[in-house]
Amino acid sequence: MDSPAADLSQKLGRKAEAVCRHYLCNGRKHGNYWVVGDVDNSPGRSLYVRLTGPTRGKGAAGKWTDAATGEHGDLLDLIAANLNLSTLRDTLDEARRFLSLPRPEPAAPQRQEPAPQGSPEAARRLWAMGQPISCTLAERYLSARGLADFRSATALRFHPNCYYWREDADANDPPEAWPALLAKVTDSTGTLTGVHRTWLDPQTAEKAPLDPNRKAMGNLLGHAVRIGQHSDILAVGEGLETMLSLRLALAGLPIAAALSGNHLAAFDPPYDLRRLYVAIDNDGAGLAAFDALTVRFEDSDLHPLPLRPMLDDFNGDLRKHGIDEMRSHLRPQLLPVDVPTLLAVETD
């Protein structure tokens, strides 16, 4: 009898092209193979996946090899590497999710109690149901705003059918379901405390025609959506798109999106932070948040440094003026010691 892993591997092999289109959407079909750059879905021609062949053994459908690294395996190995899954259980669960197969029943099934609506526990459960944003409506939404390269943005996920409760609905009305961009809110230790949702219109890849079309759940006070490797330098601001734009312009700068002016004012930076840049939206709430942060840290060694956009926010700058003009505008606002690192693209 085949093991669960072998059985799932064969089922994936029968859908090898669909697997590749989902997890390796930057590749393309070339004869009987799918060709892409690597397991991370980079453009290129180094990795190739066999799309046809027997279900097992030599030449089986789903077998892949990366000619550059020598890595090889089946589609379960590919999914694990693509999503950075560290356990076989997580990999099998993801394969079952893709194949729309139920998870095996535990030996002694226990009914999970509903989590209180809007609670951190509800946020954790919602986040666990999300999927990587590569090749999804969420990626299309962000790309339309000039944003790209989300391979390191593990704090972002996509949910194809995220519940939405209208605020004017009756208590007994069922929720609607819309696709949504999920953003993980964490504290300074990386612990999930909440999830921010942006509901999307599947026809246009714009925000869904809902009011409001963004909501947060869980505990946000002092916390933020964090993207980038931990460093002693950090940039914090309000909106997610604003901070992703700043990260795109300032190569490698870790960012935190507090999601509102009030939450920006209450942001708790990591204890070992040496320098805090603050992206200030060009409105009253943005200026007030920066003033509040300045007052909070006036007796400490951490002095917030302002980064001001040309227009209302940095995503507006990116879309209107482009990344090169953005960098030119940001350069004099950075401390000279940070310019060689944060503007490395510009100075190469």
Pull the structure tokens for residue 287. Answer: 């200026």
Pull the structure tokens for residue 53. Answer: 């062949």
- Is residue 93 in some structural domain? yes
Per residue in 319-331, pLDDT (tens digit) is 999 999 999 999 9
- Do 76 and 138 share a domain, yes or no? no
- Do 58 and 134 share a domain, yes or no? no
- What values do phi and psi take at 74, rounded to 5? -105, -170
- Do 201 and 259 share a domain, yes or no? no
Per residue in 144-182, pLDDT (tens digit) is 999 987 776 889 999 999 999 887 777 677 889 999 999
Per residue in 50-85, pLDDT (tens digit) is 999 998 888 899 999 999 888 899 999 999 988 888
- Is residue 106 in some structural domain? no
Amino acid at 320: K
- Do 186 and 258 share a domain, yes or no? no
- Do 64 and 38 share a domain, yes or no? yes
Rounded average pLDDT over 243-255: 92
- Do 70 and 94 share a domain, yes or no? yes
SS3 category, 61: coil
Mean pLDDT score across all residues of the chain = 90
- Do 66 and 127 share a domain, yes or no? no
Range of the domain at 275: 225-347
pLDDT category of residue 132 using cuts at 50, 70 and 90: confident
- Do 209 and 274 share a domain, yes or no? no
Per residue in 89-131, pLDDT (tens digit) is 889 989 998 898 887 766 554 556 777 777 889 999 999 889 8
- Is residue 269 in some structural domain? yes
Looking at the chain, the whole-number percentage of residues with pLDDT higher than 70 is: 95
- Do 242 and 293 share a domain, yes or no? yes
Sequence-separated (6 or more) residues with CB below 8 Å from residue 325: 310, 317
Instruction: Say which DSSP state 245 is in.
Output: H
**Do residues 219 and 193 lie in contact, with contact meaning Cβ atoms separated by under 8 Å?**
yes
Strand partners, 30: 33
212 prior amide bond cis, ω within 30: yes
- Do 60 and 15 share a domain, yes or no? yes
Mode of pairing for the β-strands spanning 28-30 and 64-66: unpaired
- Do 198 and 243 share a domain, yes or no? no
- Is residue 114 in some structural domain? no
Number of domains in the chain: 3
pTM, 2 dp: 0.76
**Domain at 64, CATH number:** 3.90.580
